[in-house]
């Protein structure tokens, strides 16, 4: 069965702490009636620090959509190759052994997709399949794992490279002062992540089942308004409550596979915010500590969109090695409202020798 190998994750060198976030919010949005509530919500996120691709002084200025997209292209090309090289090494595969590349990002736009540049830059084969995913937001990390799983099942023995590049700070809108915008300004961070799903062999999470689910009539709860100034993030106040309808979906998904959702060995879940994780623990009747990898990502990096599930997976790999056949859930949530779910178990067969 296809296996998700250890991801590689990198965050930019510029850091903004919780205290600095609150200070900047108070200074930039002084006098706004929504500010006190926004500050309280930001304090409750649990995000201790975030990483951004530019110094905060540049981040707070808006040079225009054209310049921001130029920075996105520059930074993505600067940061992706090293992360990809580490992911390939983690999976014990060469660039020539990659059969498809899935690139996920919702924070910039390039055509052709960065997949074309990466194929040339990283020495992948010219017949490598390109699968860019741009509009699933935070759910795209889970979607990428699931589509890689599907590809490997359709093309036995194939290897799929997943790349997530989320430069959320490039979407900051200085003039937006609604609660959703102010909260997101204190929640999202930047990161690049990559991982390989191997069709055969390797050490990692053997993917057994995947599924998608869309909560009906919620497509406007998380969205972008595209204006002359770029992407304007819209977050409905009902979004934090989405775990109540999604928890039964996750439970049925696990039950249909013969597993008890409340008795798995690991949980790699999108850390959209503290209430998402707390509510999911409540409605799945599990201890919130089972989401420790997601909590750690949220605290140390903030919400890094599609890269969250890959970073949570990295933390699982770097913990004490799971027991063989340890069972687990991977779940990403995003616009739609969309849930991308996967079930897998730990497999630790010795990696093959490429010599």
Tens-digit pLDDT profile for residues 92-108 = 999 999 999 999 999 99
End of a domain among 198, 230, 257?
Answer: 198
Closest CA to 195 of 1, 62, 2, 8: 8
- Domain assignment present for residue 114? The answer is yes
Residue 354: what pLDDT? 36
Q: Which of 106, 138, 165, 171 is catalytic?
A: 138
End of a domain among 169, 198, 227?
Answer: 198
Whether residue 5 lies in the annotated active site: no
Residues 186 and 208 in one domain: no
Distance CA 196, CA 214 (A): 26
Q: CATH code at 139?
A: 3.40.47.10
Closest CA to 136 of 164, 99, 178, 115: 164
Token digits for 224? 């972008």
Closest CA to 155 of 115, 92, 99: 99
Cβ contact 326:266 at 8 Å: yes
In the chain, how many domains are there? Answer: 2
Residues 91 and 130 in one domain: yes
Put residue 235 in one of left, alpha, beta given phi > 0 → left and psi -120 to 50 → alpha. beta
- Domain assignment present for residue 308? The answer is yes
- Domain assignment present for residue 353? The answer is no
Domain that holds residue 160: 3-198
Residues 272 and 210 in one domain: yes
Residue 353: what pLDDT? 39
Residues 341 and 278 in one domain: yes
Residues 41 and 164 in one domain: yes
Residues 166 and 283 in one domain: no
- Neighbouring CB atoms inside 10 A of 54's CB total 17
- Domain assignment present for residue 109? The answer is yes
**Cβ-based neighbours of 36, under 8 Å, separated by 6 or more:** none
Residues 257 and 160 in one domain: no
* pTM exceeds 0.85, yes or no: yes
Question: Which stretches of the chain score pLDDT less than 50?
Answer: 351-355
Residue 102: what pLDDT? 98
Residues 235 and 173 in one domain: no
Residues 158 and 221 in one domain: no
């Amino acid at each position: 069965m296809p296996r998700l190998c250890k991801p590689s994750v990198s965050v930019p060198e510029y850091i903004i702490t919780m205290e600095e976030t609150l200070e900047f919010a108070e200074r930039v949005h002084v006098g706004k009636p929504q500010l006190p509530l926004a500050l309280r919500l930001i304090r409750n996120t649990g995000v201790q620090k975030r990483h951004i691709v530019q110094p905060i002084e540049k981040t707070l200025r808006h040079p225009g959509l054209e310049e921001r997209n130029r920075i996105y292209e520059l930074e993505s090309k600067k940061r992706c190759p090293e992360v990809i090289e580490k992911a390939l090494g983690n999976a014990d595969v060469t660039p020539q052994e990659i059969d498809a590349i899935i690139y996920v990002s919702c924070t910039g736009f390039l055509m052709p997709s960065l997949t074309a540049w990466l194929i040339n830059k990283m020495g992948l084969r010219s017949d490598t399949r390109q699968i860019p995913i741009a509009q699933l937001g935070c759910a795209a990390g889970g979607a990428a794992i699931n589509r890689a799983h599907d590809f490997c099942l359709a093309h036995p023995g194939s290897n799929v490279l997943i790349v997530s590049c989320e430069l959320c700070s490039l979407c900051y809108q200085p003039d937006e002062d609604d609660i959703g915008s102010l909260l997101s300004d204190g929640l999202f961070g930047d990161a690049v992540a990559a991982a390989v799903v191997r069709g055969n062999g390797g050490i990692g999470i053997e993917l057994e089942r995947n599924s998608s689910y869309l909560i009906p009539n919620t497509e406007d709860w998380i969205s972008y308004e595209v204006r002359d100034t770029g992407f304007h993030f819209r977050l409905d106040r009902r979004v934090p409550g989405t775990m109540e309808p999604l928890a039964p979906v996750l439970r049925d998904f696990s039950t249909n596979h013969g597993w008890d959702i409340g008795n798995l060995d690991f949980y790699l879940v999108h850390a959209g915010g503290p209430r998402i994780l707390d509510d999911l623990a409540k409605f799945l009747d599990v201890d919130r500590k089972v989401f420790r990898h997601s909590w750690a990502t949220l605290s140390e990096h903030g919400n890094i969109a599609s890269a969250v599930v890959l970073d949570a997976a990295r933390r699982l790999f770097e913990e004490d090695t799971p027991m063989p056949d340890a069972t687990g859930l991977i779940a990403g949530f995003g616009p739609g409202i969309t849930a991308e779910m996967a079930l897998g178990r730990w497999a630790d067969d010795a990696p093959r020798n490429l010599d």
